[in-house]
Structure 1
């Protein structure tokens, strides 16, 4: 499943030259991942309250390809790359129309209340599996 999330570049996202500050791409893709999870039926608040589990980014591999600028309308594209018992890996792109500006591979782990890694809950694994295209 490919998920898309629109993002408008605001003044607060840019540096003095009107170009998106590099760390803000990480905020944009975080929003994209959160909306992807919400759209496939994963309620992160309920997961924390009921199962005591939260998601944490373990690794990000990022490529900054072209600058986004003030007032650009961007799209964050999120696609599942890999689902394992203890982690989820997604590929994310920030696009301006057909032009790719930023690409990242993000590894997400599940943590318990004490910050220890745990298996991805069955309900999350099932939601991810339901929304994966067969190969």
Structure 2
């Protein structure tokens, strides 16, 4: 599902592209888009009062288990990117988040990210109610 098809507002952050984010061609190295999207997912949780440190103290960890990503256009040094995250669906332990990286409203990268709540032993656990509340009712 494209992020624009969701009925929920996207949580957005701004990310400036630095020299360290680029490759020899002067464009953002592909793996750095994953870091930008991780920051947006973390800030989405934080904006809704979900503290990942507190979750970890309760032996709950949100683990990325799958990502379908499409690179459409490059970002370059000094670009100011907008990175969006929209929780779009959930089951008892799993959530799907749609993400986009934009430059001046133009999509550079899109992704569908699957996260699973796990305990410290790597076993799936039910998503806490406060986290589950971020996702639309299924």
So what's the TM-score if we normalise by structure 1?
0.91
Among residues 87, 97, 108, which one is paired with 1:90 in the alignment? 97
Cα distance, 1:59 vs. partner? 0.3
Q: Distance in 1 between matches of 2:131 and 2:76?
A: 36
The alignment of Structure 1 onto Structure 2 pairs a total of residues equal to 129
Deviations 1:24-52, CA, capped at 9 Å, x for gaps: 00000000000001001111100111x21
1:101: which partner in 2?
108
1:66: which partner in 2?
73
Cα distance, 1:123 vs. partner? 2.6
2:12: which partner in 1?
4
| Unpaired segments ≥5 residues, structure 2 | 1-8
Among residues 33, 39, 53, which one is paired with 1:45 in the alignment? 53
Return structure 1 stretches of 4+ with deviation > 4 angstroms.
Answer: none
| Unpaired segments ≥5 residues, structure 1 | none
So what's the TM-score if we normalise by structure 2?
0.89
Deviations 1:10-69, CA, capped at 9 Å, x for gaps: 0000001110000100000000000001001111100111x2101100100000000000
Q: Distance in 2 between matches of 1:123 and 1:35?
A: 15
